[in-house]
Amino acid sequence: MHHASPERDAWSSRIGFVLAAAGSAIGLGNIWRFPYVTGQNGGAAFVVLYIAFVLLIGTPVMVAEIAVGRHARLNPVGAFRKIAPKSLWYMVGFLGVATGIGILSYYSVIAGWTFGYFIKTVSGTFSSSITSDQSVIVFTNFVSNPIQAIFFLFVFIGLTTLVVMGGVSSGIERWVKILMPILFALLLILTIRSVTLNGAVKGLEFYLKPDFTKIHGSTVAMALGQALFSLSLGMGAMITYGSYISKQDNLVISAAWVCFFDTMIAIVAGFLIFPALFAMGLDPAGGPGLVFVVLPTMFADMPLGAFFGAGFFLLLTVAALTSTISLLEVTVAYMVDEKKWHRKSAALFMASLAFILGIPSALSFGGVDWLSKIPGIGLGFLDLMNISLGNYSLTIGAFLISVFVGYKWGIHAVRSEIEEYGNIFFFRKIWTFLIRFICPVAIFAIFVYIVVTKNYF
Ligand code: PFF
């Protein structure tokens, strides 16, 4: 039984929500972003921080967002406005909508590369053995071609728009159910190949043996940002998806499953990338090109490599698609609920904005010089977007959401939302402690620390 209005979409079952939310969470964040950020931040010690943040901050904020969404049955702006009318809390929703467009814009650039690499693999670019040096050249040529980068960005945003125009539940649930398990199986097979390469041990050491002296400056902020990004938290994606779930579901259990699946995939991706990377003698701090350089080199040199390679890039494209759908959906839900736009026009409008905003990101890998290294900042445009929105904006959002749920809306309201239909609120006391004290205080402390040390990225 759904209490939704006839126009409001709904997941068909608890498993439907878990699948869609896992589809949002699992994406490039796990397989592209996690390994390269881990590589840039020293390896195992970063992984320890990341896991701690998933447990102490990510999981409680996940419960909080879903509860807000299901209670209000609205987009983030509407949800804050409904729960706290005549206050400024709805601004947190706006921050989320803006962040959603911004992340969608650059995320789709990387997703476009993924799709491009699928086509490259199928068309035989990596069929004969290539060295890692050659793979770097293929990558650099590919991403610095402006027409190509913009073309793939367009294709990818177009795909996302088509799905969102049709409504969320019908497409995603079905795709995720079939394709995510295949992606996981493929990851495991490829990981076995990676860890058995000559010289893989050094990569395992880098990934598993923490050296806490490597933690300094922005490392902690990066680990927190990565945890939030990977779980799709801090911008209302889970508020939006939560607004489509049934009152009968135990949302604590659903939240826990999503966090568990997402973290598993990220950890396995590390086992896939680092052994192969060290076996090839590459630099773990190589940045956003990491997976696009390491994996094709590995595929080129393994039995049925073209088959596994094509499968991998195709499934990663789908995983990215189920994430961009949620990014676009946040902004579309806002336009539909609050501005009474039609779903189709809202999707077209927001996607066009994201496409235009994505162009400088698409040109920031050699296509246009000053975008590749912005004067005075030293980062490329995409990197800058990725850090400011994918880390800091989500972190600020998560801070505000935890304060809102812990103090404004209040623990009792959450409790009745969760227990209303006789469900058990597992770990209620621990959750209360985490959301009221640990989340806001830890996030605040991290901000003070990076501001004081001026170590932003
Ligand atoms: N969680 C997605 C990933 O790991 O690829 C990215 C993402 C989706 C971030 C939706 C934020 C969001 F709201």
Nearest ligand 1 atom, CA 230: 4
Q: What is the pLDDT of residue 239?
A: 98
What are 32-64's pLDDT values in tens digits? 999 999 999 999 999 999 999 999 999 999 999
Mean pLDDT of 4-19: 73
| Residue 1 located in a structural domain | no
Q: How far is the CA of 237 from the centre of ligand 1 (A)?
A: 8
Contacts for 110 with CB less than 8 Å, ≥ 6 apart: 28, 32, 288, 320, 382
- For the chain, what is the domain count? 1
Rounded CA separation 91/97 (Å): 10
Mean pLDDT of 351-358: 98
Average pLDDT, the chain: 93
Q: How far is the CA of 87 from the centre of ligand 1 (A)?
A: 28
| Residue 118 located in a structural domain | yes
Mean pLDDT of 131-160: 95
| Residue 344 located in a structural domain | yes
The values of phi and psi at residue 379, to 5°, are: -105, 160
Rounded CA separation 390/364 (Å): 17
| Residue 186 located in a structural domain | yes
What are 239-291's pLDDT values in tens digits? 999 998 888 999 999 999 999 999 999 999 999 999 999 999 999 999 999 99
| Residue 3 located in a structural domain | no
Mean pLDDT of 390-415: 97
Contacts for 330 with CB less than 8 Å, ≥ 6 apart: 75, 76, 96, 97, 100, 235, 236, 237, 240
| Residue 239 located in a structural domain | yes
Share of the chain above pLDDT 90, in %: 82
| Residue 198 located in a structural domain | yes
Nearest ligand 1 atom, CA 28: 5
Whether 59 contacts 251, CB under 8 Å: no
Range of the domain at 67: 14-453
Contacts for 89 with CB less than 8 Å, ≥ 6 apart: 80, 81, 83, 404, 408
- Ligand 1: which residues within 6 Å by Cβ? 24-25, 27-30, 103, 229-230, 232, 235, 237, 323, 326-327
For tokens 């890998």, the residue is 365
Q: How far is the CA of 262 from the centre of ligand 1 (A)?
A: 11
Q: What is the pLDDT of residue 7?
A: 56
Q: Give helix 219-230 / helix 394-403 axis angle, nearest 10°.
A: 70
| Residue 5 located in a structural domain | no
**H/E element holding 305?**
helix 305-339
Q: How far is the CA of 302 from the centre of ligand 1 (A)?
A: 31
Whether 400 contacts 239, CB under 8 Å: no
pTM over 0.85: yes
- Among the listed residues 451, 165, 199, 204, the one whose alpha carbon sits nearest the alpha carbon of residue 336: 165
Contacts for 430 with CB less than 8 Å, ≥ 6 apart: none
Mean pLDDT of 376-395: 95
**CATH number reported for the structural domain that contains residue 322 in this entry:** 1.20.1740.10
